[in-house]
Amino acid sequence: MKITKLETFLVKPRWLFLKIHTDEGLVGLGEPILEGRALTCAQAVAELEPYLLGQDPTRVIHHWQAMYRHAFYRGGPILTSALSGVEQALWDLTGKYYGQPVYKLFGGPTRERIRVYAHAGGNPETIRQLAARGFNAFKTGVFGGRPARIVETKGFIDRAVANFAALREAAGPEIDIAIDFHGAIPPQTSKVLIKALEPFQPMFIEEPVQCQNVDVLADLARSTHLPIAAGERVFTKWGFRELLEKRAVSILQPDLCHAGGIHEVHIIAGMAEAYYAAVAPHNPLGPISLAACLQLDATIPNFLAQEQVSLGEGYLKQPFVIKDGCIDLPTGPGLGIELDEEALADKIGHEWTNPQSYHPDDGSVVDW
């Protein structure tokens, strides 16, 4: 089996899908996307195509090493996202070629079902509705009424905590709710807000500060009994090493579309296991990304929960189904999914860009 063509196409609302074609008719699927940089990622994939044409797609790890290491300038969000999507598609082809799910190629599953969580926003009614659909874990953000200042008022803290308290009341004590600071709460305020949230026991605090600020993350982790999570903006095993060595997080959140793909995140999970850390893969992307995550989740013993925003309705011939907060292990070969080309027809193309916001106090740039 040889690779004959790489094909990328924009898919609403903000995704980039990849098809790797072969001379035996098998097609591998991947999602080589960085949010807001879809066209740049598509070009990066195109620059990998000359190396891949004519290659045996089942030599996945060899190709990853070649594409990563033959570049004098390595890594970074764009190049690693392009590589991640290509790697997903290579595993999809390998599984299809051998007639096995990807997780079987990694030694078989460590669990029978995969727990997933949904985004709740700041609305208690959203939690009630999603719980009725079968979800039992959620994530929200910080709702303080405006973008955070460097040093925040008691009013901002009180509003943010009151919003989380309302979600907790709607969910009850047996449902998990994580809270994502998005790295947008300054370190001068993060510790205060974490302390105020402690009575409501969030499942974890995500990116309480920018993930590059590893020493401050470590300080926050030591100052609270709540788990600290980060990793969506960290790439490859080399990027995650410092987070673990400094005990800056106890929950890693690598994104399989950014961090290097399925095998690379499998390595990262093994590193995390050595530090008694859990893995909750980041995924605010499409159903191909989710399918890749589920294959990885099935294989690692220190899996916590899987983020998702689309179960594939309108994109996959057989969307994923939630039951008791979980998705059953996919059983099909490769990533276990098939695109619904007819349903996709009206979703091709988008012009999604990163949001641009400015602080109401003085018009200064606000972090997304």
| pLDDT tens-digit series, residues 24-35 | 999 999 999 999
Domains of the chain, earliest start first: 3-100 (3.30.390.10), 103-333 (3.20.20.120)
* Residue 251 CA neighbour count, 13 Å, CB half: 21
Distance of CA 51 to the CA centre of its chain: 27
Its pTM stands at: 0.96
Rounded CA separation 130/125 (Å): 9
For this structure, is 282 an active site residue?
yes
**Contact present, 114 and 329 (Cβ < 8 Å):** yes
Look at residue 16 and tell me whether its pLDDT is greater than 90: yes
Preceding peptide of 187 cis, ω within 30°: no
Distance of CA 240 to the CA centre of its chain: 15
Residue of 21, 258, 266, 282 with catalytic role: 282
Rounded CA separation 162/133 (Å): 25
pLDDT for the residue numbered 36? 94
Task: Tell me the residue type at 219.
Answer: D
Rounded CA separation 316/338 (Å): 6
**Would you list the DSSP string of 5-33?**
EEEEEEETTTEEEEEEEETTS-EEEE---
pLDDT for the residue numbered 50? 98
Nearest CA among 112, 127, 141 for reference residue 174: 127
Residue of 21, 70, 182, 350 with catalytic role: 182
Token readout for 310 is: 């689309």
Average pLDDT, the chain: 97
Per-residue pLDDT tens over the stretch 291-325: 999 999 999 999 999 999 999 999 999 999 999 99
Per-residue pLDDT tens over the stretch 125-151: 999 999 999 999 999 999 999 999 999
pLDDT for the residue numbered 254? 98
Rounded CA separation 86/28 (Å): 9
Rounded CA separation 40/112 (Å): 38
pLDDT for the residue numbered 368? 85
Look at residue 264 and tell me whether its pLDDT is greater than 90: yes
Rounded CA separation 327/315 (Å): 17
Nearest CA among 84, 18, 15, 16 for reference residue 7: 18
For this structure, is 70 an active site residue?
no
Rounded CA separation 213/258 (Å): 19
Q: Show contacts of 212-215: CB within 8 Å, 24+ apart.
A: 213/187, 214/242, 214/243, 214/246, 214/248, 215/246, 215/248
- Judged by DSSP in three states, 176 sits in strand
Q: How many residues belong to the chain?
A: 368
Place 106 in a pLDDT band, splitting at 50, 70 and 90.
very high
